[in-house]
Structure formats: structure tokens, C-alpha cells
Amino acid sequence: MQHDACSNVVVLGFTYKVPEELVAFNIIDGATKAGELQNFIQMLHTSWHERPCVHMTQDGRAACVAHPFIDDLATGAVTHSGPDQLVRRGREGCSSSGWVRGMWCVCHGRHSAENPLPIRGSEVSPRVSPLGNTCQMRITLPSGTEAIMVKHPNPKMGLVIAPDIFGLRPLYDEMVERLSREWEMSVIAVEPFPGKNVDASIESRVAVLPELNDSDNLRDLLEGADALGTETTGLMGYCMGGMYCFKSALNERFVRIASFYGMIVMPPAWKGPGHAEPLACLINGYADNVLAILGGEDPYTPEADIAQLRATGAQIAFYPEANHAFAHDASRPSYRKEDAEDAYAKTKEWLLSALR
């Protein structure tokens, strides 16, 4: 099906092209009455054939794509990336005359449908499903913290990711898209150093760790869960993010938690007045919701700490020969493919067990 005769409706800076007979009003940059916005969203929900198209060209070439995130417009809490950062291309390539199912691209300025501008230097290929497409986008949480999100059209559950100490980067762009596709979940990864003056070095990040606050981190993880809009939500984290997973066991919002090599006891250099001990949070929280993925050669989780963790009732997946960070980043020397695959399989099973 193609939408060739369309009218423009502008929402939050994006122009949506919908069939002429479906448009009763215009929304300019979200400045409209709440009732009108709700009516517009309801109209777009009638079927996938009536989903809006994103139209972002300035060179005379039209490029329309189904937009799967119209739900987010209901709250106005989502801030989209700039148009020069948005490109999605399906297996058949981009459409220049309207929307055809399976085609996905956004063109801007001198970049045509045949020469799309990539998102942050890499092209993203969304999953095409009978209900439409999933695609990745950057959002800003109500707290002002940045996050990367993929909303699955029919998610089994939601998954919030707490990144490692290096924060959001292309690794997590790929991760949220892959896990959403393979695990059929809506997934969001939340930046752990919002507003902090840090660079890519671990030294600059360790230096500001004592300034961080557990309550701010938990707030951002919970806001990430809210952005997903799923009834059931899990939490997964790596390294420092795995440590925050242990701390988040105090909150019952996350029905399943998976901590990859998270610190059970905080390193002394990381401690600050806004920090609680991960082990104490597990003892006083919902430790039975937690799966800890640990390596026997990891200096951050010594045997004595693991024994204390086990006593809380948390589940443990233990890999005797694995060091720190053995599972989530294949570029690291510590990566162990077989252990990583096994750990992810166990994690998926653990998360989905909440649905039984």
C-alpha cells in the first residue's frame, strides 16, 4: 500500500504525511490542545495502514516511512534526535514515492533516498514485523538524562539497561536494537553520567563517581522503565551498571534483575555520601529477583564477596575462568564467546521467567 496523496501534519518538529481524508487539523510543534492531540493519536491507531509517514526532504524527493513511536506523543515526554541523525533503511531500500511496507528511511537536505544520511555514523537496519517496524531513537528522560530506546511493536516485556562505566556509545546503540529484535522486548539504555564533565577515559569517570547519587540513578532507571510503557519490566546492567542493578533490588518495579559482573562491595575510590553498599541493598531488598553473572577471575568480585552475595538468596551464574567484562563487549581482551552466549541465554530465561 502506498500513500501518494498525503497531507502534512507537523508534530514535535516532524512532518507526518497522512491521507487527506484522515486529517481534520494541523499540529504545529506540539502546540495544540491536549484533546486534539489525543484525537490525532487515536486516529493514527486505527490500523497500520493509516500510520503516519515521516517526511524530511528538502531536495524535492519524498521519503515516507511508518513511524512506530506515535504512542510517545501522547505524553510529550520524548525528545527525538535531530533530523540529520535519523535514517532507517529496510531490506528493499528507501522509498521515494510514498510508504511501502518494509521500506524505511528519512532523508534530509542534500541527502536523497538513494544517498541517505546515516545515524551517528552507522546505518541502522530495523526489524520488519507484521505489525510494522522497530527502530532506535535517542530520547531525553524527564530528568534530562539521555537514553537510547527501541520499542518493539509487540513486546513480551520491557528491559532497562544500566551501562558500564563508559556510558552510552555505539556498543549500546547496537545492543538495544539487537536485544529488542532477538528477545522481542522494548529496550532502553540509560546514560549513567548525565551532566558530568567526563571524557572517554576511565580516569575521568572514576574521578566523578563519588559525586553520583544512588537516588538519581534509580530515578533515571525508573523513568526509563516508564518510557517503555510495558506492564512488566526487567533490569540488566554491566560492571558499574551491574552494581546499580544490585542497588535497584530495593525497588519492586523491576520484576527480574540481571547483573553482569557488578560490584558486590563498592571499590573504596568510588564511594561518596550519596552511595549505599550494593550488598546492603540486596539484604534489605528483593534479592530473590536478582541473577548475578560472575567470573572466577574477576578482581572486582572476590570469592568472599560472592559468598556474601549467595547468602542473600540471589541466583548466581558462575564462570570459573572468566575475568571482568567477559560478556558484553566482543572487542575487549576479556571477552569469552562461549561463556557470553551461555550467560545471555541464562539471562533471557531469567527475565522471561517473570511472565510465568
Cell of 338: 562461549
Cell of 34: 491536549
**Quick check: pTM over 0.85?**
no
**Which residues are within 8 A (CB) of 62 and not within 5 positions of it... i.e. 6 or more apart?**
17, 55, 96, 97, 98
Is residue 72 within 8 Å of residue 97, measured between CB atoms? Answer: no
User: Is beta strand 290-295 parallel, antiparallel or unpaired with respect to 256-260?
Assistant: parallel
Adjacent-strand bridge partners of 189: 148, 161
Radius of gyration of the chain (CA): 22
Candidates 189, 192, 279; CA nearest to 236 is 189
The angle formed by the CA atoms of residues 41, 148 and 118, to the nearest 5 degrees, is: 90
**Residue range 181-204, pLDDT digits in tens:** 999 999 999 999 999 999 999 999
The conformation of residue 149, written as its DSSP 8-state character, comes to E
Measured distance CA(152)–CA(265) in Å, rounded: 35
User: What is the model's pLDDT at position 260?
Assistant: 99
134-355: which CATH architecture? 3-Layer(aba) Sandwich (3.40)
Highest mean pLDDT among 41-55, 88-102, 117-131, 168-182: 168-182
**Residue range 131-145, pLDDT digits in tens:** 334 567 889 999 999
Mean pLDDT of 336-354: 99
**Which residues are within 8 A (CB) of 7 and not within 5 positions of it... i.e. 6 or more apart?**
17, 18, 19, 20, 23
Q: What is the residue-wise DSSP string for 304-325? A: HHHHHHHHTT-EEEEETT--TT
Measured distance CA(181)–CA(133) in Å, rounded: 10
Measured distance CA(291)–CA(95) in Å, rounded: 45
> Average per-residue pLDDT in the chain?
73
Alpha-helical runs (H) found in 68-201: 170-183
pLDDT over 90 at 179, yes or no: yes
Candidates 160, 175, 179, 148; CA nearest to 230 is 160
**Residue range 97-111, pLDDT digits in tens:** 222 222 222 222 222
Helix (H, G, I), strand (E, B) or coil at 147: strand
Measured distance CA(162)–CA(278) in Å, rounded: 15
Candidates 314, 321, 356; CA nearest to 342 is 321
User: What is the model's pLDDT at position 137?
Assistant: 85
Q: Where are the domains of the chain?
A: 1-126, 134-355
**Residue range 30-45, pLDDT digits in tens:** 334 444 444 444 444 4
